[in-house]
């Protein structure tokens, strides 16, 4: 397992409260694709990373000494990419993304990597990786093609207030605690901005229950320090069209699970 510290243009983020987001190279780059300069082409997680960056920029604008920022690490298990590490770093730089660390590991070790790096949120396009992450108690989100068409100017987080609309990683095995502490961090970040023109937007959806279940979910979020901007109580209305309108970068449901 090799870990490379990359000090690019990124400010050194203080160790105490950044929100560490680990993303796999499969998610960031389109596999097998190359641009004319031989660099990797942006993949599914691209808009999401841009949105995370936007949040950081705005946070620093509000307070240049802000330490509650997203700290993005890139994980790759592909040995070819590891051998061509400069291609990864060049591609990252070329696309204007800010990654503070690159972690190269093999498939067996990458979970350890997540835990050692104190990862708060793990993003992947690989279902197995997401399941493994959840089982180890790391909040893991499976990204899909919908993420690719999300906005880059605003990070949109969707909380699913009843367990029906789960994040596609499968049953909510991630410890409730990991989900709740991540949510609290998101809530805090959101609180740095006013109601208008925020680079983060938080929405809540309940699919099954009536208004009481949505009301309860709103209160649960509040107790975590998360003030949702939008709330939708579907009570059985098909969620496809609603999700298409909301365009969340990712979904979180573990805060409300009963385990």
Partner 1 sequence: REKMSEIKPKDKGSSEESAAEQDWAAAKAAFENLKSNKPRPVSPKPKNAVTIAVSSRTLFNMKAERKIFEEEGLEKYVAFQQEHENEPLKPGPAFPFVKALMNVNTRLRELYPDNEELFDIVLMTNNHAQVGVRLINSINHYDLTIERFCMTGGKSPIGYLKAYLTNLYLSKSADKVIEAIDEGIAAATMFTPDTELELSGTQLRVAFDGDAVLFSDESEIIVKQHGLDSFFEHEKQFENKPLAQGPLKCFLEALGKLQRKFYAKNERLNCPIRTFLVTARSAASSGARVLKTLRSWGLEIDEALFLAGAPKGPLLQKIRPHIFFDDQMFHIEGATELGTISAHVPYGIGQKYHKGKLIEQPEKKE
Structure tokens at 101: 């660390």
- Binning the chain into helix, strand and coil, the percentages to the nearest 5 are 35, 20, 40
171 makes contact with partner 1 (CB under 8 A): no
Residue 172 has what DSSP assignment? -
Q: Is residue 170 involved in binding partner 1 (CB under 8 A)?
A: no
Structure tokens of 16? 């105490």
| Nearest approach, Cβ of residue 164 and partner 1 (Å) | 5
Contact between 144 and partner 1 per CB under 8 A: no
Which one among 10, 41, 148, 242 touches partner 1, defined by CB under 8 A? Answer: 242
Binding span for partner 1 by CB under 8 A among 19-27, 73-81, 131-139, 215-223 = 215-223
Q: Is 149 an interacting residue with respect to partner 1 (CB under 8 A)?
A: no
Q: Is 54 left (phi over 0), alpha (psi -120 to 50) or beta?
A: alpha
Considering only residues 174 to 203 of the shown chain, the ones binding partner 1 according to CB under 8 A are 194-196, 201, 203
Q: Rounded to 10 degrees, what is the CA torsion of 160, 115, 84, 106?
A: -100
Long-range own/partner contacts, residues 26-32 (CB < 8 A, 24 or more apart): 26/78, 26/124, 26/125, 26/126, 27/123, 27/124, 27/125, 27/143, 28/74, 28/92, 28/97, 29/91
Binding-site size, partner 1 (CB under 8 A): 35
Residues counted in the chain: 259
Which position among 25, 100, 180, 207 is part of the footprint of partner 1 (CB under 8 A)? 207
Identity of the residue, 44 or 226, whose beta carbon is nearer to partner 1 in the bound complex = 226
Q: How far is CA 3 from the centre of its chain?
A: 21
* Region of 40-48, 101-109, 117-125, 204-212 interacting with partner 1 (CB under 8 A): 204-212
CB of 158 to partner 1, least distance (A): 12
Structure tokens at 8: 């690019």
Q: Does 239 contact partner 1 by CB under 8 A?
A: yes
The distance of closest approach from Cβ of residue 221 to partner 1 in the complex, given in angstroms and rounded to an integer, is 9
| Min dist. Cβ of residue 160 to partner 1 (A) | 12
Contact set with partner 1 (CB under 8 A): 162, 164, 194-196, 201, 203-204, 207-212, 214-215, 218-219, 227-242, 245
């Amino acid at each position: 397992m090799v870990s490379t510290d990359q000090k690019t243009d990124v400010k050194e983020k203080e160790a105490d409260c950044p929100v560490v987001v680990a993303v796999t190279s499969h998610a960031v780059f389109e596999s097998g694709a190359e641009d004319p300069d031989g660099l990797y082409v942006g993949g599914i997680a691209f808009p999401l990373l841009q949105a995370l960056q936007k949040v950081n920029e705005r946070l620093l604008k509000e307070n240049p000494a802000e330490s509650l920022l997203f700290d993005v690490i890139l994980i790759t298990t592909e040995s070819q990419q590891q051998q061509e590490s400069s291609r990864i770093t060049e591609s990252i730089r070329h696309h204007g993304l800010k990654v503070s660390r690159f972690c190269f590991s093999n498939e067996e070790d990458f979970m350890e990597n997540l835990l050692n790096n104190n990862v708060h949120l793990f993003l992947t396009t690989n279902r197995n990786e997401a399941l493994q992450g959840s089982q180890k108690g790391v909040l893991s989100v499976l990204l899909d093609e919908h993420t690719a068409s999300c906005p880059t100017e605003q990070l949109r987080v969707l909380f699913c207030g009843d367990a029906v609309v789960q994040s596609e990683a499968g049953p909510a095995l991630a410890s409730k605690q990991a989900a709740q502490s991540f949510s609290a961090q998101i809530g805090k970040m959101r609180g740095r901005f006013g109601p208008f023109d925020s680079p983060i937007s938080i929405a809540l959806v309940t699919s099954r229950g009536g208004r009481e279940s949505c009301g309860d979910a709103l209160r649960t979020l509040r107790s975590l320090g998360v003030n949702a901007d939008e709330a939708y109580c579907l009570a059985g209305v098909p969620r496809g069209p609603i999700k298409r309108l909301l365009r969340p970068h990712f979904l979180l449901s573990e805060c409300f699970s009963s385990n």
